[in-house]
Amino acid sequence: MDKIQDIVIEIKKLEQELFVEMQKKENEFFYKIRGKRVVFEKEARKYQKSFVVKVSAYIANTGLLNIITVPFIWSCIIPALLMDVSLSIYQFISFKIYKIPTVKRSEYIVIDRHRLGYLNLLEKVNCFYCEYFNGLIAYVQEIAARTEQYWCPIKHARKLAVMHSRYYKFLEYGDCQDYQKKLDALRKDFSDL
């Protein structure tokens, strides 16, 4: 194909290689993934528990400014939940109409850090928040990417800080001929999902 397509193929290959390397950590840290569950060996769980910091000590060692910001951080959960629900409904209805494959929420919002025995309850709650929120942002980005591919698949003239998963398929900025010729086909091109 072209140079961009070659780079995308290479990136996907490297992502797969990275995933394989990350899976090797299962043996190093004595856990297995069974379905969607993480299961630690008995000795590993016992070893991890020896590293738990009591909640009182954790709070005592947390800076005052960190404690003051907690309400601001947690206040974001309400709009996040609203976004989660509204975008899930949006894609459930609209993607069926547009014939766009729906985004599997469970592939983006992964909650598993509560299985780490070295975290105290407060750390687990904080980890849950981060897992949910970052997973939600990735989920939302993928819904937006598929929507953009359907409605306006044109690359930007300026460099983006982050390119979403569908961006490489988009038409070149300023290429009016390809836009007219390829828009309909591009709206249906989700065969890679």
Predicted confidence at residue 27, as pLDDT, reads 73
Q: Return d(Cα 57, Cα 68) in angstroms, integer.
A: 17
38: helix, strand or coil: strand
pLDDT digits (tens, 9 = 90+) for 133-157: 999 999 999 999 999 999 999 999 9
pLDDT digits (tens, 9 = 90+) for 100-144: 999 999 999 999 998 899 999 999 999 999 999 999 999 999 999
Mean pLDDT value across the chain: 91
**Residue 156 backbone phi and psi in degrees, to 5:** -85, 155
What is each CA distance from 66 to 60, 62, 140, in whole angstroms? 11, 7, 28
Predicted confidence at residue 5, as pLDDT, reads 79
Q: What is the pTM of this model?
A: 0.83
Tell me the average pLDDT across 155-183: 92
> Domain segments of the chain: what residues?
13-50, 51-187
Predicted confidence at residue 49, as pLDDT, reads 86
Q: Please, which pLDDT band fits residue 87 given cuts at 50, 70 and 90?
A: very high
CA 150 to chain centre: 21
Joined tokens for residue 119: 């975290």
Answer with the residue of higher pLDDT: 150 or 192: 150
**Closest-CA residue to 169 (of 136, 178, 110):** 178
Q: Return d(Cα 87, Cα 89) in angstroms, integer.
A: 5
Predicted confidence at residue 135, as pLDDT, reads 97
Q: Please, which pLDDT band fits residue 95 given cuts at 50, 70 and 90?
A: very high
Q: Return d(Cα 143, Cα 59) in angstroms, integer.
A: 38
Predicted confidence at residue 1, as pLDDT, reads 53
